[in-house]
Amino acid sequence: MFLFDRWDLGASSFSPLSLSHSLTSAMDESQIASLLKSSELFPTPQSVKLSYGTAGFRGDAKLLDSTVYRVGILSALRSLKLGSSTVGLMITASHNKVSDNGIKVADPSGGMLSQEWEPFADQIANASSPRELVSLIREFVEKEEIAIGEEKKNKSAEVWLGRDTRPSGESLLRAAEIGVSSILGSVAIDKGILTTPQLHWMVRAKNKGLKATENDYFENLFTSFRCLIDLIPNSGKDKLEVSKVIVDGANGVGGLKLEELRESLNNLDLEIRNTGRDGGVLNEGVGADFVQKEKVVPLGFGSKDVETRCASFDGDADRLVYFYIPTESSTDKVELLDGDKILSLFALFIKEQLNTLDDDDKEGTRSRLGVVQTAYANGASTDYLKQLGLDVVFAKTGVKHLHEKAAEFDIGIYFEANGHGTILFSETFISLLVAKQKDLTQGSEEHKAVSRLVAVSNLINQAVGDALSGLLLVEVILQHMGWSVQKWNELYKDLPSRQIKVEVPDRAAVVTTSEETEALKPLGIQDAINAEIKKYPRGRAFIRPSGTEDVVRVYAEASTQEAADSLANSVAQLVKSFLG
């Protein structure tokens, strides 16, 4: 038994008996001992305040040992709470610099950690002492009625761990393993180096009772891609010469995994650059975040690539953007096809298949296809989607909010401009498609349309945005349409836009609607913004408080860059006058 009286637990009259009495209402003494002993290995860094968000916890890798250890504890508790379902833990900092790292939880559904557990994540990550940590865990376990220690009987937690290629990943993974195993009977399984979407896919598949190895992930991508290639109309094959696509792997894990997959992709002329094998630095002058924000070519691209179709992954391969270099006279600038353009291509293709089925639908039971965007989506993309007759809805900024909205449709497509997004198919709708596939005459246009939709549901990663599966779906749709990247880019022309950050004394003074498109407080500011918007052709602007710093973010767009800049500056002045 661990000696409790070794610890300074903040009480002058402390005794082992008093600790046992105060903490064992939800946990037995052996469980308390396990937590106290392991937490001694990971003291919390001083003056570091952490908050769990869409990206989980992120920061300087040197300061994250205790955080990763504690999220290991949380993941084991999450598994027990959900009937010992498998939970995932991904160690990554995505598009952040290589010296950073982070950790986030994949729920059994393959989605992100339930928002209801985020406050608990914050509490234990910031607990300043072992006693405070154990006390917080005890209170939470009691509130959530989670059986641990002797009370859990035959149930045990199972947590799958993955990491990207960062040098700090291996040691942080060990911290996560210790955190998981400190909940007695819990098992941590190291799945090795993975993309973030791979781990989410594997966790989702495991809990659905499906094959869930990395090889199964690759096999699923290849099989569904091959099916869609086989279903390309002859007219599409005639219209497009199969051309090369060059992928920027951000010197991260995505390029390495794409190399593994390439061996099976006979129908794709694929070149991969920035794999990290040649000494390139993760996310430094490369990757989806860099290309999307800077609108310049990543390292390793130049005049030899003019007019060639190119794509960029981010560091952990959950974001995808496309680009091409338009002219030889300016080989540093790119024509960007961001998440909005990818969403539009996906929506157009899926609507085409649904139209084929709806035309044949004698019972009038039409499917609900919905598109989910944030207020940051370019207004030209929203106009284009509405012109297609699609149901466009807005969600609060953050992938978890978009995902939740998309799940309300039979087929829901969501993307952020940064290239993170996916397509969700409801289980009911998939069952209807599979049944219809069996009833329709093989080779008929209706049968082909159903088969394409089923294949898309298998190819796309329905757990989370996935650059690998997204790349394959873009490529097969372009072949289906017979389109070059330039033709795709002509779907609509982005409106010029500008974003500004305004420092304010209290960002909480700004309250917006749930879609963040209008400000409810301070009173009168929205009327003032609307008055400014009216001065500019195709003007649109909104403000929203930052989630992490005392600034208010201003977004504006208009028919010209000069107008967008002017509108943004005018709205920024309004923010200063109302909140200054």
Tell whether residue 364 is among the known ligand binding residues. no
Tell whether residue 166 is among the known ligand binding residues. no
Region at 285 (left for phi over 0; alpha for psi -120 to 50; beta for the rest): left
Tell whether residue 391 is among the known ligand binding residues. no
Tell whether residue 94 is among the known ligand binding residues. yes
Tell whether residue 316 is among the known ligand binding residues. yes
Tell whether residue 318 is among the known ligand binding residues. yes
Alpha-carbon distance of 105 to 180, in angstroms, equals 12
Are 173 and 190 in contact by the 8 Å Cβ rule? The answer is: yes
CA distances from 131 to 3, 5, 52, 78, 127 (A): 14, 12, 22, 21, 9
> What residues are labeled active site?
94
Tell whether residue 164 is among the known ligand binding residues. no
Tell whether residue 547 is among the known ligand binding residues. yes
Tell whether residue 545 is among the known ligand binding residues. yes
Are 199 and 163 in contact by the 8 Å Cβ rule? The answer is: no
Tell whether residue 300 is among the known ligand binding residues. no
Alpha-carbon distance of 540 to 460, in angstroms, equals 33
Q: Give me the phi and psi of 286, to 5 degrees please.
A: -145, 170
Alpha-carbon distance of 364 to 370, in angstroms, equals 18
Which tokens belong to 365?
Answer: 């039971």
Tell whether residue 305 is among the known ligand binding residues. no
Alpha-carbon distance of 344 to 339, in angstroms, equals 9
Tell whether residue 60 is among the known ligand binding residues. no
CA distances from 237 to 58, 241, 309 (A): 45, 8, 18
Tell whether residue 544 is among the known ligand binding residues. yes
Are 370 and 406 in contact by the 8 Å Cβ rule? The answer is: yes
Strand pairing class (158-163; 100-106): unpaired
CA distances from 578 to 54, 505, 521, 564 (A): 30, 11, 10, 21
3-state secondary structure of 313: strand
Alpha-carbon distance of 178 to 185, in angstroms, equals 12
Long-range contacts of 401-407 (CB under 8 A, 24+ apart): 401/374, 402/372, 402/373, 402/374, 403/111, 403/112, 403/464, 405/370, 405/372, 406/370, 406/372
Alpha-carbon distance of 313 to 197, in angstroms, equals 12
Enumerate the known binding-site residues. Answer: 94, 314, 316, 318, 416-418, 544-548, 553
Enumerate the known binding-site residues for Mg(2+). Answer: 94, 314, 316, 318
Enumerate the known binding-site residues for substrate. Answer: 416-418, 544-548, 553
